[in-house]
Amino acid sequence: MKQFQYVRPATLKAALDVIGKPGVKVIAGGTNLIDLMKRGVTAPDKLVDINHLGLVDHQSLKDITETKTGLYLGSLALNSVVSENNMVAKRHPLLAMALKAGASPQLRNMATVGGNMMQRTRCGYFYDTTMPCNKRVPGTGCGAMEGINRMHAIFGASQQCIAVHPSDMCVALAALDATVHIAGKKGERKLPFTQFHRLPGEHPDLDNNLAKDELIVGIEIPDNNFAQNSYYLKIRDRQSYAFALVSVAAALEIENGIIKNARLAMGGVAHKPWRLFDAEKALTGKQPTEENFAQAATLAMQGAIGHGGNSFKLKLAPATITEALKHAAGLV
Amino acid sequence: MENKEAYPANDAAQDVKDSSRRNFIKQSTLLTAVALTPGTAIKAAADHIDEQIAAVFEKMPLKMQVNGKTQNLSVEPRATLLDILREQLDLTGTKKGCDHGQCGACTVHVDGHRINSCLTLGVMMNGRKITTIEGLANGNQLHPMQEAFIKHDGFQCGYCTPGQIMSAVACIREGHANSEHEIREYMSGNICRCGAYPNIVNAIQEVKDGGMAV
Ligand SMILES: Cc1cc2nc3c(=O)[nH]c(=O)nc-3n(C[C@H](O)[C@H](O)[C@H](O)COP(=O)(O)OP(=O)(O)OC[C@H]3O[C@@H](n4cnc5c(N)ncnc54)[C@H](O)[C@@H]3O)c2cc1C
Ligand code: FES
Ligand code: FES
């Protein structure tokens, strides 16, 4: 690993003064950044450790708190702490399930909410510095497009990049209509979670819409009526401690045998957590039956494109959607 | 394409306009801002202010407790906790398997919680309490989990064992050892190339069922 400077600011303002400059990177849990630095994928000159920022808006960035309209997770809340939190378990079991399906207990004890959102793709060409990759070095081409692309995107890819965002947590947060709280030098702004990550387009080097001089301070999840009927289903090469081939976050609000509201998002299929808006709409007002679920899944797959190695996902994904919905509805 | 036409949200990503301009950044007078000039850095270090700056130093001071003993060290910012334990403190019980968070051989406890020391920077452990496999036994008396691993043959080559044992202790402490299924799930961060898994699970179950303090 290349030598670097390390700074440990004690306030948010002090941190915002340093970040955004060339060669400067923020470190939270370090589980993604240190890995990438060891492999030479990134080589910052300076690391800004944000674990000691003190209070922001009267609360620690590690806290999980109730707000008037929902639940607020500080950006430094650990993945393990969020997944075991009582309020999360009661109100958003979907999020707890997704978090527990990710990484390992040790890694979850280090990984933070903000770091999880900002984690880079696990595409092998991105990781291998001897290979072409438009995400790592713009203009070098995409090795995966014609290469090994078993883990790659079937939705929203561009000529430049077919990488996927690897997070489980983010799939649940996209389904739950969360809002991202962002701090910059000029103040705070908010962004709907579904607009935080972006599609690769002409700029696969950009994973999301956070500016270089901004920090994620927290996530707010609005209250909902999905707790009774939600499920996170993750399909992977081994039963645990592996990234998703395909995952589905399914949440239903069922009243008198009719679906009043549905939320669906998929992981492992796009450059960002992929919300299935059409399928959600199609399910609304319907009965929670396997047949209706399968129809919604077919609808959700419109526009999907396989690239060879990942073409099996064209079958796996709709099957996973149907199965996740069955679990959410209590049919299995 | 569904997401493109009907519902713009999946690719309306370019729109990053501020939705709120509430200036919430308040600076407490108790907390000083970081200063990056070398002179200030040296002064800050001399004053023991919490913001320590490696900018002008090759190495940084690191004070942490390892297995009950306070260690005052001088480390490069890029040194991982794993390398510091093994190379500076000669605690070679903690193993380096993959060095990338994928195997769990480097598992140690920080303030009682299990973590991967290969992905942890030493400088970020300032003021923390580390327990390694060497710190588990009570003098000559092995920890119950160490005893159980021996009794159940919970290893073959032994390379993954220190990490397995640190993880196993944490697994019980966390309350995640209530069934074989749960043990397997919560031990999944520790890979064993020799495939000693069934015996590892048996060892953990015995310690759990024995109700001994771990
Ligand atoms: C072996 C292995 C298996 C894994 N398996 C899974 C899995 O199955 N599912 C899954 O979802 N994840 C998995 N992960 C990834 C893991 O979830 C991420 O590494 C972790 O969430 C990153 O969080 P962190 O706090 O450690 O981030 P860091 O490594 O500290 O940071 C990651 C990035 O985020 C930036 N950053 C951090 N905090 C902020 C902030 N507040 N504002 C702005 N930028 C910030 C950093 O600058 C950096 O670029 C796995 C990781 C490993 C090593
Ligand atoms: S050496 Fe740390 S996880 Fe493999
Ligand atoms: S005993 Fe050999 S790797 Fe586990």
Q: What is the dihedral of CA A103, A107, A108, A110, to 10 degrees?
A: -150
Kindly determine whether residue A1 and residue B18, on different chains, have CB atoms separated by under 8 Å.
Answer: no
pLDDT tens sequence across B97-155: 999 999 999 999 999 999 999 999 999 999 999 999 999 999 999 999 999 999 999 99
Kindly determine whether residue A277 and residue B19, on different chains, have CB atoms separated by under 8 Å.
Answer: no
pLDDT band at B53 (very low <50, low <70, confident <90, very high): low
Q: Does A14 touch chain B (CB under 8 A)?
A: yes
How far is B208 from chain A, CA to nearest CA, in Å? Answer: 18
Residue A27: give its domain's CATH number: 3.30.43.10
Q: CA–CA separation, B209 vs B212, rounded Å?
A: 8
Give the number of domains in chain A: 2
Q: In DSSP terms, which residues pair with A179 in a beta bridge? A: A192, A220
> Considering chain B, what is the average pLDDT of its residues?
82
The response to whether residue A169 sits with its C-beta less than 6 Å from ligand 1 reads: yes
Q: Is the predicted pLDDT of residue B45 greater than 70, yes or no?
A: no
Shortest CA distance from B99: residue in chain A = A35
Other residues' Cβ atoms within 10 Å of the Cβ of residue A129: 12
Q: CA dist B81 to A40, A106, B88, B103, B200, Å?
A: 19, 14, 10, 16, 26
pLDDT of residue B213: 84
SS3 assignment for A300-323: HCCCCCCCCCCCCHHHHHHHHHHH
pLDDT of residue B132: 98
Q: Is the predicted pLDDT of residue B10 greater than 80, yes or no?
A: no
Kindly determine whether residue A198 and residue B11, on different chains, have CB atoms separated by under 8 Å.
Answer: yes
Of B187, B93, B194, nearest in space to B203 by CA: B187
In a domain, A177, yes or no: no
Shortest CA distance from A154: residue in chain B = B1
Q: CA–CA separation, B99 vs B82, rounded Å?
A: 9
Kindly indicate whether the domain formed by B144-209 is annotated with CATH number 3.30.9.10: no
Task: Give every CB contact of residue B214 below 8 A, 6+ residues apart in sequence.
Answer: B143, B144, B145, B169, B172, B173, B207
Q: Span B186-206, mean pLDDT?
A: 98
Residue spans of the domains in chain B: they are 21-55, 60-135, 144-209
Q: CA–CA separation, A53 vs A149, rounded Å?
A: 40
Q: Which ligand is in closest contact with the Cα of B103?
A: 2
Provide φ and ψ at A274, rounded to 5°: -105, 105
Query: How far from the centroid of its chain's Cα atoms is residue B204's Cα?
Result: 21
pLDDT of residue A306: 98
In a domain, A141, yes or no: no
Of B55, B41, B57, nearest in space to A48 by CA: B55
Query: CB under 6 Å to ligand 2: residues?
Result: B 96-99, 101-106, 116, 118
Query: CB under 6 Å to ligand 3: residues?
Result: B 155-161, 192-194, 196
| B30 C-alpha to ligand 1 centroid (Å) | 31
What type of residue sits at position A103? Answer: A
Task: Enumerate residue ranges in chain A where pLDDT < 50.
Answer: none
pLDDT tens sequence across B55-81: 445 799 999 999 999 999 999 999 999
Residue owning tokens 């129809």: A295
Q: CA dist B96 to A30, B102, B121, Å?
A: 17, 11, 15
Task: Give every CB contact of residue A67 below 8 A, 6+ residues apart in sequence.
Answer: A220
Other residues' Cβ atoms within 10 Å of the Cβ of residue B90: 9
pLDDT of residue A57: 84
- Which runs of consecutive H residues, i.e. helices, occur in B36-159? 38-46, 81-83, 144-151
Q: Is the predicted pLDDT of residue B28 greater than 90, yes or no?
A: no
In a domain, A315, yes or no: yes
Give the domain extent around A255.
Answer: 227-329
* Fold of the domain built from segment(s) B60-135: Ubiquitin-like (UB roll) (3.10.20)
In a domain, A166, yes or no: no
Structure tokens at B58: 């090759």
Cβ-based contacts under 8 A for chains A and B: 215
Q: Which residues of B touch A208 (CB under 8 A)?
A: 13
How far is A141 from chain B, CA to nearest CA, in Å? Answer: 22
Q: CA–CA separation, A310 vs A324, rounded Å?
A: 21
Residue A311: give its domain's CATH number: 3.30.390.50
Shortest CA distance from A1: residue in chain B = B78
